[in-house]
Chain A
């Protein structure tokens, strides 16, 4: 078990290094002068001096290897440098905004789990029945609506037509808890609905698969009650694949929440990111992506360890 843990942590660190390297080298493999590229907007080119300044600022004049090592070292200390647009600290901006993004994701994930695991289990147990028909049909429809479309429609319905919820915006929790929560509802529900379609599907499939295993028949033959059979011999086994998918999806959500935040004007990472991309503020984009990828790798590490606790065979592989 210890060997398994160490191996998994080592793999995660290696992945992190590879991800960092890739992000670093993307700028290096871009054809032409990166500084010139970043400063060019809409066909117009920047002045010689501006380019020279940026090159100095980003250290692009130094040898590649040195740039690389500096980048890795700085990243380890969470020193992402400053924005090339306004010179503000990137790490500070991320530290301010990341918690807001994580809040939406956490609220959405909790809602999604509460909704989809029971529904998926029931649908899996009664596959082909009426409940399964309705939930699976609804699920297929929801899966097909992209998050930002759902968000836009929600704003129209709940803010414009019904007027029951704010169309967007943000107030810090410390300032006004009630309004903060009210503003959280729509973004969180949007994220939750999207996430729950995936968890529902996985739970249903996993339950459907597990219920056909020989040990379920053994459990029934032992005379266990139906509830016990479902809980201990179907659901418990089905959870492994489900949490793996949840982990993977949480990582993807770190990205797609950008769209939801944008729809609701939620000042999470998205605003920072979208502005940075528009202004070609590469250091900022790079820092955000590195942070998110690191969180993603961390989540998957936790999930792997959780899974190995759920299923003792995993650690042996």
Chain B
């Protein structure tokens, strides 16, 4: 099967602060990230702050400039696509944001928000517009009579549904969910997660689901990719990664997650997450890794097969072999 999205060797740097009198320092937030998303697949991206997970989503949507060896979406090369074609392609790839308050223009009604999407791609003009808007509202579980309200009249969960409706309006093949449920209370978060799961089951849409919450990612994703300081640590099936992590960082992350009932046998990490400005040499995780060897400081470990179609970026094969 050809993947819907294929990214190879994605890099991204930001200028960060100054160096000396007039120099600028560059901060590399993504290094050599590769990923694929199959049609109908949900790929979860997990990581802590500074991992670059949100940057990946925006780089793929070409909302921020980045460099990569290859970036193909639905058979088209995103790196060489002229901007007019890119605009047309945007119909097929959409995004849902984290903050339900910042993601809607306070001055526009829901109708205006959804119509902007349809107008841009010349969809459902004239008499076909109203039924389409009604259908969209119903699809995300909102009453269509709310179409002429402005965002401040909605709760956080309802706003998030409007954001989802905006993304769905143009019938995309792929949506980046950038921490789409992180700002919501638990009870509302479950509603939105269920909504996404239903939509995916119904429409066969692909999702890139970005979150810092491992349990949420495990529940919603088919495969999970774990990031640390802009580098991929581990990739594998959602349940596999969650219940039998192969990489020490994944294991630490999962064991750090608070869980109901039993007190977990926690893997202790020491120290703080290093600044992306001054990452450790070799393996970026070695400064906090309980299993680090002297060799870890020498070269950055390659992402390599770890059985069952999984990948990990760790030189040790003698640890974390459970299933």
Contacting pair B21 A3 (CB below 8 A):
yes
A6: nearest residue on chain B (CB-CB)? B21
For residue B291, which residues in chain A have a CB less than 8 angstroms away from its CB?
none
A4: nearest residue on chain B (CB-CB)? B18
Contacting pair B17 A7 (CB below 8 A):
no
Proximity bits, B221-246, A CB within 8 Å = 1, else 0 = 00000000000000000000000000
Contacting pair B17 A3 (CB below 8 A):
no
- For the A-B complex, the count of residue pairs with Cβ-Cβ distances under 8 Å equals 7
For residue A3, which residues in chain B have a CB less than 8 angstroms away from its CB?
18, 20-21
Contacting pair B21 A316 (CB below 8 A):
no
CB neighbors of B among A1-23 (8 A): 3, 6-7
Cα–Cα distance between A7 and B23 once the two chains are bound (Å)? 11
Cα–Cα distance between A7 and B20 once the two chains are bound (Å)? 10
Cα–Cα distance between A3 and B19 once the two chains are bound (Å)? 9
A3, A6, A7, A316: most-surrounded residue (chain B CB, <10 A)? A3
Contacting pair A316 B17 (CB below 8 A):
yes
Cα–Cα distance between A30 and B21 once the two chains are bound (Å)? 39
B20: nearest residue on chain A (CB-CB)? A3
CB neighbors of B among A34-64 (8 A): none
Chain B nearest CB from A123 CB (Å) reads 30
Chain B, interface SS category: loop
For residue A316, which residues in chain B have a CB less than 8 angstroms away from its CB?
17
For residue A7, which residues in chain B have a CB less than 8 angstroms away from its CB?
21-22
For residue B20, which residues in chain A have a CB less than 8 angstroms away from its CB?
3
CB neighbors of A among B6-39 (8 A): 17-18, 20-22
Cα–Cα distance between A7 and B22 once the two chains are bound (Å)? 8
B18: nearest residue on chain A (CB-CB)? A3
Chain B nearest CB from A44 CB (Å) reads 54
A2: nearest residue on chain B (CB-CB)? B21
Cα–Cα distance between A18 and B264 once the two chains are bound (Å)? 66
Chain B nearest CB from A204 CB (Å) reads 27
Chain B nearest CB from A1 CB (Å) reads 12
Proximity bits, A287-317, B CB within 8 Å = 1, else 0 = 0000000000000000000000000000010
Chain B nearest CB from A12 CB (Å) reads 15
B17: nearest residue on chain A (CB-CB)? A316
Cα–Cα distance between A3 and B22 once the two chains are bound (Å)? 9
Cα–Cα distance between A155 and B20 once the two chains are bound (Å)? 56
Cα–Cα distance between A48 and B21 once the two chains are bound (Å)? 54
Cα–Cα distance between A3 and B17 once the two chains are bound (Å)? 12
Chain B nearest CB from A194 CB (Å) reads 37
Cα–Cα distance between A6 and B17 once the two chains are bound (Å)? 16
Proximity bits, A275-297, B CB within 8 Å = 1, else 0 = 00000000000000000000000
Cα–Cα distance between A6 and B22 once the two chains are bound (Å)? 10
Cα–Cα distance between A7 and B19 once the two chains are bound (Å)? 12
Chain A nearest CB from B228 CB (Å) reads 26
For residue B22, which residues in chain A have a CB less than 8 angstroms away from its CB?
7
Proximity bits, A145-186, B CB within 8 Å = 1, else 0 = 000000000000000000000000000000000000000000
Proximity bits, B187-216, A CB within 8 Å = 1, else 0 = 000000000000000000000000000000
Chain B nearest CB from A128 CB (Å) reads 24
Cα–Cα distance between A208 and B20 once the two chains are bound (Å)? 37
Chain B nearest CB from A161 CB (Å) reads 54
CB neighbors of B among A256-285 (8 A): none
For residue B18, which residues in chain A have a CB less than 8 angstroms away from its CB?
3
A3: nearest residue on chain B (CB-CB)? B21
Cα–Cα distance between A270 and B266 once the two chains are bound (Å)? 77
For residue B21, which residues in chain A have a CB less than 8 angstroms away from its CB?
3, 6-7
Chain A nearest CB from B63 CB (Å) reads 25
Cα–Cα distance between A3 and B20 once the two chains are bound (Å)? 7
For residue A6, which residues in chain B have a CB less than 8 angstroms away from its CB?
21
For residue B17, which residues in chain A have a CB less than 8 angstroms away from its CB?
316
A7: nearest residue on chain B (CB-CB)? B21
Chain B nearest CB from A111 CB (Å) reads 40
Chain B nearest CB from A209 CB (Å) reads 20
Chain A nearest CB from B190 CB (Å) reads 30
Cα–Cα distance between A196 and B260 once the two chains are bound (Å)? 60
Cα–Cα distance between A1 and B18 once the two chains are bound (Å)? 12
Cα–Cα distance between A3 and B18 once the two chains are bound (Å)? 10
Cα–Cα distance between A8 and B17 once the two chains are bound (Å)? 16
Chain B nearest CB from A296 CB (Å) reads 25
Residues on B close to A: CB < 8 A? 17-18, 20-22
7 interchain residue pairs of minimum CB distance: A3-B21, A6-B21, A7-B21, A3-B20, A316-B17, A3-B18, A7-B22
Q: List 5 A-B contacts (CB under 8 A).
A: A3-B18, A3-B20, A3-B21, A6-B21, A7-B21
